[in-house]
Structure 1
Amino acid sequence: MRAVNEVDQSRSELRLIWALCLASIVVYINLYAVQGMLPSIAEHFDVTGANATLILSVTSFSLAFSLLIYAVISDRIGRLAPIMVSLWLLVASNILLIYAKDFDALLMVRLLQGVLLAAVPAIAMAYFKDQLPASFLLKAAAIYIMANSLGGIGGRLMGGLLSQYCTWEQAMTVNFAVTLVGISIVTYLLPRRELKPEKTQTSIGVLAKIKQDVGGFIYHLTDNQMRLVYAIGGLAFMMMVNQFSFIQLHLMDEPYRFSRFAATLIFLCYLSGTLTSYFSAKWVVKFGALRLFKGALLVMLVGTLLTLIDTLPAIIIGFLLTASGFFLTHSCCNSFVAIRASTHRAKATSLYLCSYYLGAALGGPYLMLFWHQLEWQGVVIGSCGLITLLCVAIMRLTYHQSKTDDLAVRS
């Protein structure tokens, strides 16, 4: 009987892992498919290519702040319900995209979708921690991160392929069908029974709970080192993800004249970041986060400047380097937050992800100003401005770490 229960438990754990990984793939397909469709969106809704990048910015903006809300909700009512409700509402929202009549309507739907897309990234790791044994947690996290990467790459390539061969309505119908099938499978896989984490202070009032939640966020925001790491992650993503948006416009212009789908193949450069993420855990242990932050900054700077040569090999190598440097930075930020957060860990992570996606939201309008002046050369100049801010943040973090080390030695 005991062996049967263990087998059932193991199956339930595997179903949870694959369900959340598939949910993550569907979420990132929905988030990033439009990034591969920017030229098509500009043409269909009669806006400039640069203005079309706002479609990713508004979604990232609402997603960023929704992460904080889901972190609180899932602690109060559990993990399963918020994920399932948000995913099925996402399916329904894709119908609205098919019938969006103008660009303003499209932006409003994407703003709503940002709220719905936030549930899985906000809750998944906490869900794993609640339901899986500690020995299985790291493997589950590694598989989940790979799913994130595959969803992002797959979504962008799917968007480029659809924009090449389909009308807007046809493309969004395919996106709706993919989402519907994916979420149906997720619903089938997710275990119906949810092991509730142990609760303390069951008699605490509503106002006290709110105060406790707000206090958890404030606790981490008043930490100098946490604030700097949040800024580092946000600034790095602000630059990298939006560079990929504008390089598509550059590749479709003279002298390259790439097709819509061919331009999205630049997103395959993300794979260098996936490889870097795989090794980052070992590197953090061996070299420490600060040294890796500095190395990653240098790699991103070299990669960005290399694209100014403006040949296809130079652009590809430059983006391979930039993606690698960014994902190394992202991995270091994640590990730093996880190690430093001794309490209110879910809130610490949600604050980092909020800063991360807020950076993506602000990066589009910011780099657009430079694109309008000097096109791709302007984007490089704007990116160098962000790299300068990253350098300042890393230097400040180094200062605070050395100060902490000195106090530890004296005590």
Structure 2
Amino acid sequence: MSDSSCFRLQLTVFALVSASFTNIYITQPVLPVLQTEFGADMVTVSFTVSAVILGIALSNLPFGILADRLPIKPIILTGGVLVALNGIICAITHNLWILIGARFLQGVFLPALTTCLAAYLAKTIPDSRLTVVMGSYVSATVLGGMGGRLLGGWIHPPLHWRYAFVSAAALILVATFTALRTLPATETGRGRQQETTGFAALLKRREILLIYFCASGSFAIFSSVFNYLPFRLSTEPFHFSTQSTTMLYLVYIMGIFMGPTAGKISNRFGSGNTLIAGSILLGISLLLILLPSVPAVVTALLGICAGFFTVHAAAVGSLNRKLTSGQGRANALYVLFYYMGGWLGITGAGFAYKHGGWSFVVYICLVLLLIPLSAGMGERKMNNAQEASAHTGCT
């Protein structure tokens, strides 16, 4: 693959993944608005976010199998059209449970545009570029996540959140049909594997299972903090409006830079050290966000984004470097663990916030931090063992 064709592929995938992730978090900054409009409690309206995440988690394994067996274009067309269609349903319904159901269906078909593309990249991009390209993929998820939040709570006025779904549907359709025109019809570079690795075989590999748990724990922390941030900032001592709270989601820009940067750091210092560094930064930031100060909250959110996306990019890159086949299944399992962690985090943190307040949510996140930290230590130990074995072999 030439440099120019690789760059065009990256741009196409970046646009499609960004548009896909725009759909996930549209309602997050307007959860208090939905609570008032539908007359529902905090936990119920949070389902408009967690239902998408649950849908993604449940459909990843089937789409992972499809990614290893079918051409990419039919999968993209199906996913893009159905995500957009359910977005329009979200925009016109006045029933909260129909809204939640349509959000769930959006989640079901989003892996056609994300998990399958990750597998496509793993098969198409040379090993020497894979970690950095996966970092760019992570950056696309960051831009989309930030864009969805801005659509729902700032670009469109909060009381007109329905228009955000229409805008997101238009974006996903444009990105889908652009990808259909520009992506190669068949994978090149590595080519399709004649034999593929099954789900059970992947889960039996301890080094891969560590990465999966790392994804689950880190995203549980990240999703818990950002999902209940609007409720925290609407109370004393902040009293932020929805638009002011939404502006804080601009800290996501940090993730756009940290994705590729973390890939380069991981290449130089090892994925284990990178995971540990990201986990430590996450922990410091979680302690800082407990302070009742706007500068402390902003600084903490920047640190949480930097730490989380360092962990995420290093984990994705480490996973794909370990694979010689079954990229679709392996990435599907990664996203399954990742989003199940997010769903459990949002759901559990909702009850924690309801009964114990913001500090209780943060304390739970600090406990969950032991998962990515342990994964980093395990990864470093395995890397050191491999280096020692290679050194012994050479001598």
Please point out which of 260, 263, 270 is paired with 1:281. 263
- 1:308 Cα deviation after fit: 1.4
| In structure 2, C-alpha distance between the alignment counterparts of 1:33 and 1:10, rounded to whole Å | 35
- Asked if 1:340 is matched to 2:332, the reply is no
Q: Does the 8 Å contact 2:78/2:112 carry over to 1?
A: no
Tell me the percent identity: 23
Q: In structure 1, give the amino acid aligned to 2:30.
A: M
Could you tell me which residue of structure 2 aligns to residue 208 of structure 1?
Answer: none
- Asked if 1:111 is matched to 2:104, the reply is yes
Q: In structure 2, give the amino acid aligned to 1:342.
A: T
Decide whether aligned partners of structure 1 residues 336 and 199 sit closer, same or farther in structure 2, where only a CA change above 3 A counts: closer
| In structure 1, C-alpha distance between the alignment counterparts of 2:274 and 2:137, rounded to whole Å | 23
Tell me the SS of whatever aligns to 2:324. coil
Tell me the SS of whatever aligns to 1:31. coil
Q: Does the 8 Å contact 1:21/1:147 carry over to 2?
A: yes
- 1:353 Cα deviation after fit: 1.9
| Deviation larger for 380-389 or 229-238 | 380-389
CA displacement, residues 373-395 of structure 1 (integer Å, 9 cap, x when unaligned): 23211111111121234444445
| In structure 2, C-alpha distance between the alignment counterparts of 1:339 and 1:148, rounded to whole Å | 20
Q: Does the 8 Å contact 2:30/2:158 carry over to 1?
A: no
Could you tell me which residue of structure 2 aligns to residue 151 of structure 1?
Answer: 144
| In structure 2, C-alpha distance between the alignment counterparts of 1:179 and 1:348, rounded to whole Å | 25
| In structure 1, C-alpha distance between the alignment counterparts of 2:32 and 2:166, rounded to whole Å | 18
| In structure 2, C-alpha distance between the alignment counterparts of 1:252 and 1:388, rounded to whole Å | 30
- 1:347 Cα deviation after fit: 2.2
TM-score of the pair, normalised by structure 2: 0.87
- Asked if 1:83 is matched to 2:43, the reply is no
Please point out which of 23, 29, 32 is paired with 1:30. 23
| In structure 1, C-alpha distance between the alignment counterparts of 2:230 and 2:24, rounded to whole Å | 17
Q: In structure 2, give the amino acid aligned to 1:190.
A: T
| In structure 1, C-alpha distance between the alignment counterparts of 2:300 and 2:193, rounded to whole Å | 51
| Deviation larger for 60-69 or 163-172 | 163-172
TM-score of the pair, normalised by structure 1: 0.84
- CA radius of gyration, larger in: 1
- 1:14 Cα deviation after fit: 6.1
Decide whether aligned partners of structure 1 residues 136 and 336 sit closer, same or farther in structure 2, where only a CA change above 3 A counts: closer
Question: What is the aligned-residue RMSD (CA, Å)?
Answer: 3.1
Please point out which of 196, 214, 219 is paired with 2:201. 219
| In structure 2, C-alpha distance between the alignment counterparts of 1:298 and 1:199, rounded to whole Å | 39
Could you tell me which residue of structure 1 aligns to residue 230 of structure 2?
Answer: 248
Aligned length: 392
Q: In structure 2, give the amino acid aligned to 1:56.
A: V
CA displacement, residues 63-94 of structure 1 (integer Å, 9 cap, x when unaligned): 12322212211222211110111101222112
- 1:239 Cα deviation after fit: 0.5
- 1:364 Cα deviation after fit: 0.5
- 1:367 Cα deviation after fit: 1.1
Decide whether aligned partners of structure 1 residues 163 and 360 sit closer, same or farther in structure 2, where only a CA change above 3 A counts: farther
Decide whether aligned partners of structure 1 residues 83 and 165 sit closer, same or farther in structure 2, where only a CA change above 3 A counts: same
Q: In structure 1, give the amino acid aligned to 2:182.
A: L
Please point out which of 361, 386, 389 is paired with 1:379. 361
Q: In structure 2, give the amino acid aligned to 1:370.
A: A
Q: In structure 2, give the amino acid aligned to 1:75.
A: D
Could you tell me which residue of structure 1 aligns to residue 120 of structure 2?
Answer: 127
Tell me the SS of whatever aligns to 1:308. coil
Could you tell me which residue of structure 2 aligns to residue 312 of structure 1?
Answer: 294
Q: Does the 8 Å contact 1:37/1:163 carry over to 2?
A: no
Q: Does the 8 Å contact 1:164/1:260 carry over to 2?
A: no
| In structure 1, C-alpha distance between the alignment counterparts of 2:290 and 2:126, rounded to whole Å | 49
- Asked if 1:94 is matched to 2:76, the reply is no
| In structure 2, C-alpha distance between the alignment counterparts of 1:262 and 1:116, rounded to whole Å | 32
Could you tell me which residue of structure 1 aligns to residue 182 of structure 2?
Answer: 190
Please point out which of 315, 319, 328 is paired with 2:310. 328
Tell me the SS of whatever aligns to 2:27. helix
Decide whether aligned partners of structure 1 residues 400 and 20 sit closer, same or farther in structure 2, where only a CA change above 3 A counts: closer
- 1:44 Cα deviation after fit: 2.2
Decide whether aligned partners of structure 1 residues 282 and 136 sit closer, same or farther in structure 2, where only a CA change above 3 A counts: closer
- 1:345 Cα deviation after fit: 3.1
Decide whether aligned partners of structure 1 residues 171 and 200 sit closer, same or farther in structure 2, where only a CA change above 3 A counts: closer
| Deviation larger for 155-164 or 376-385 | 155-164
| In structure 1, C-alpha distance between the alignment counterparts of 2:289 and 2:193, rounded to whole Å | 54
